[in-house]
Amino acid sequence: MKLSKYLNIGVAICISSFFLFISSSESYWIPFWKFFNIPNQIPPFSDLDSINRALLSLKQGFNPYLENPNDITGGKYIYPKIWLYIFDFLNLQNNLNLKIFCFLIITLYFFLILDLISKYNNKLFYIIGIVFIFSKINLLIIERFNIDIIIFVLSWLIIIYSKFYIKLFLYILSFSLKIYPLFSILIFLENKKKFFLTLTISLILLVIFSEDIIMIKSNMIPYAMMIAYGFETLARGIYHYSIHMNFIINDENYIIFKNIVILSGFLYSLLIFSINFKLGRKKIYSQLSFEENLFLLGGGIYVGTYLVATNIDFRLIFLFFTIPLLIQNNKNIFVYIYIIFYLICINSLFFEVGSRYTISYAIKSFIIHGMKFYIYSFIIYYIGKLLNKIVEIKFR
């Protein structure tokens, strides 16, 4: 076991060193990503660069949520403000500090992936892991250095630490960094007192960050592509086709239509959840397994973000946490369908080509989003099954 961990650390260091090396020159960076057909940006790790540029705007007296003149694309700031303070404190505007930061995070990220894969002596999981590492979305997330990588690492640490207050600290940190880890709160449901403490803190943080959340939401682009997911994404896609084809949905009624889609999605979710979750007295288990908690964490993030926002596929990396539980039930045909659909969806960038108003693109979009909706439905069904084991709602 120790030898395996050392090997994983060594491989992760090599991978991280390689990415740092090719980021040192455009002549290395651009051809590498073109070889894998990944849209690349300059400078390397552009998402980190955008935070540094927003920090510069802040220091110049601008509110980067409203005015961000130093951003290369002219875009406004779209992350919680805490990142600006972290970058300032760590002095990540210094190139050497930034490279050290990237090296450490990428090393941790790949070590955790390799460590999870090697934890199970399962050929299917090895195959899934290899496809995941070389998937379009994983390569894109590295090219951008999207900060979901950091949330992925923090999420893993939340699971492996057993002491509640360490888990709570890591949860609060991840929540403060990206908000959506709120949906990983399901992993605290085993203990009602700890869950309600965590929920109370989460609600307080939502109030504290409410202004940032409103600004971030207003600055986010409502994606309507194959490499995005969520009920709002579906509504937005239908809206664009309706405008193009001069159908019913237009600028005047889009908000109503979007809210109907989200509300319908919420009611559908309750229906699927209720299939496995039973009310009243029942046998309650003291705790869930490691794999079950991993599933709740990764699945909870996907389901929560699917319900409330339009999301680029970066967050599909959290669905990797759902796989260990499912490979234990790999005789189930629905599990195989889930895995196949997941491996296709994390490579949906491959299909994101051609005009968006052609029949072929519409068919591809319908298939890809249908797969993501299947994954969403499957996870809700399974979450109902897991929560039914640890949550009892009694009526007097």
Among residues 144, 217, 145, which one has the least CA distance to residue 180? 217
Position 330 scores a pLDDT of 67
User: Residues with Cβ < 8 Å from 112, sequence gap 6 or more?
Assistant: 152, 153, 156
User: Residues with Cβ < 8 Å from 356, sequence gap 6 or more?
Assistant: 225, 240
DSSP 230: S
Position 180 scores a pLDDT of 87
Query: What CA–CA distance (Å, rounded) separates 247 from 162?
Result: 54
Long-range interactions of 159-162: CB distance < 8 A, separation 24+? 159/187, 159/290, 159/293, 159/294, 159/297, 159/321
Position 396 scores a pLDDT of 61
Position 98 scores a pLDDT of 93
Query: What CA–CA distance (Å, rounded) separates 228 from 313?
Result: 5
Q: What is the mean pLDDT of each run of 10 residues along the chain (396 residues)?
A: 77 94 92 90 90 92 90 85 93 93 95 91 90 95 94 93 90 91 87 90 91 84 84 88 82 88 94 87 77 93 91 92 88 90 93 79 90 96 90 70
- Predicted structure pTM score: 0.91
Position 395 scores a pLDDT of 63
Query: What CA–CA distance (Å, rounded) separates 386 from 383?
Result: 5
Q: Is the Cα torsion angle 360, 307, 372, 143 positive or negative in sign?
A: positive
Q: Is the Cα torsion angle 260, 263, 265, 268 positive or negative in sign?
A: negative
Reading the block at residue 329, the tokens are 């039930």
Position 371 scores a pLDDT of 95
Rg over alpha carbons for the chain, rounded to the nearest Å, is 21
Among residues 11, 175, 179, which one has the least CA distance to residue 108? 11
